């Protein structure tokens, strides 16, 4: 039996990790062979990104690094799917379009460039969920530093959220209201997956 490739997107603090754990538990109990994976990966390129070893990197170079990491990861995920696994992936190309567009300035031509560099390396997931939430709320869920940085972060995440929503409408992602409780969100998402 061919597997499935399911992606979860959303701004920091949207509740992706908890949701993915919950989905994994339910699908495993139903007899599915589930694998949880994430971007940036813990592979060779993802590790460089996560370690933050490259200082003063340009925004364009950063976008290319995330995309190179994805090229490697996509091959891996396709193999897992082919072998019958249900692949639950925390972030995929929409993260690059949403976050790097916010970093770069968010013009249409920048967004086009980000989509263009991703086109040859990605495969369209069977379904993508966008956990949509107001950054003010999501930031209350995660630890923050001082007030000034919190304000800047919220402003930044507003741009990321708006980029996400634009792409979600274009690509037909399932937009999920992530301001509700974890149980409510899990219930809705598992119903959609079941269908």
In the complex, least distance from residue 122 CB atom to ligand TMP, rounded to whole angstroms: 11
Among 5, 99, 164, 173, binds ligand TMP (CB under 6 A): 99
Minimum CB distance to ligand TMP, residue 12 (Å): 5
CA 35 to chain CA mean position, Å = 16
| Exposure on the CB side of residue 74, measured as CA atoms within 13 A | 16
Q: Does 159 help bind ligand TMP (rule: CB under 6 A)?
A: no
Number of residues that bind ligand TMP (CB under 6 A): 10
Binding ligand TMP (rule: CB under 6 A), the pick from 66, 129, 164, 173 is: 66
Using the minimum distance from each CB to ligand TMP, give the nearer residue, 83 or 123: 123
Sign of CA dihedral 78, 80, 86, 92: negative
| Residue 100 CB, nearest approach to ligand TMP (Å) | 6
Q: Whose Cβ is closer to ligand TMP: residue 32's or residue 35's?
A: 35
- For the bound state, the minimum distance from the C-beta of residue 46 to ligand TMP, rounded and expressed in Å, comes to 9
Binding to ligand TMP (CB under 6 A) within 108-137 occurs at none
User: CB 4 → ligand TMP: shortest distance, Å?
Assistant: 20
Q: Is 12 in the site for ligand TMP (CB under 6 A)?
A: yes
Binding site for ligand TMP (CB under 6 A): 12, 39-40, 66, 90-91, 95-96, 99-100
């Amino acid at each position: 039996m061919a597997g499935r490739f399911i992606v979860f997107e959303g701004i920091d603090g949207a509740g992706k990790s908890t949701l993915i754990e919950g989905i994994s538990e339910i699908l495993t109990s139903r007899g599915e062979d589930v694998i949880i994976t994430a971007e940036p990966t813990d592979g060779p390129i993802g590790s460089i990104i996560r370690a933050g070893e490259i200082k003063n990197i340009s925004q364009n170079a950063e976008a290319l690094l995330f995309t190179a990491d994805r090229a490697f990861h996509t091959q891996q995920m396709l193999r897992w799917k082919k072998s019958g696994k249900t692949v639950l992936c925390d972030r995929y190309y929409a993260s690059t379009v949403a976050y790097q567009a916010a970093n770069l300035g968010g013009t249409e031509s920048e967004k086009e460039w980000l989509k263009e560099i991703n086109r040859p390396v990605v495969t369209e997931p069977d379904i993508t969920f966008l956990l949509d939430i107001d950054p003010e709320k999501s930031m209350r869920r995660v630890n923050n530093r001082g007030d000034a940085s919190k304000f800047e972060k919220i402003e930044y995440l507003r741009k990321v959220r708006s980029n996400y929503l634009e792409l979600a409408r274009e690509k037909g992602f399932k937009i999920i209201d992530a301001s509700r409780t974890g149980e409510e969100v899990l219930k809705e998402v598992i119903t959609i997956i079941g269908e």
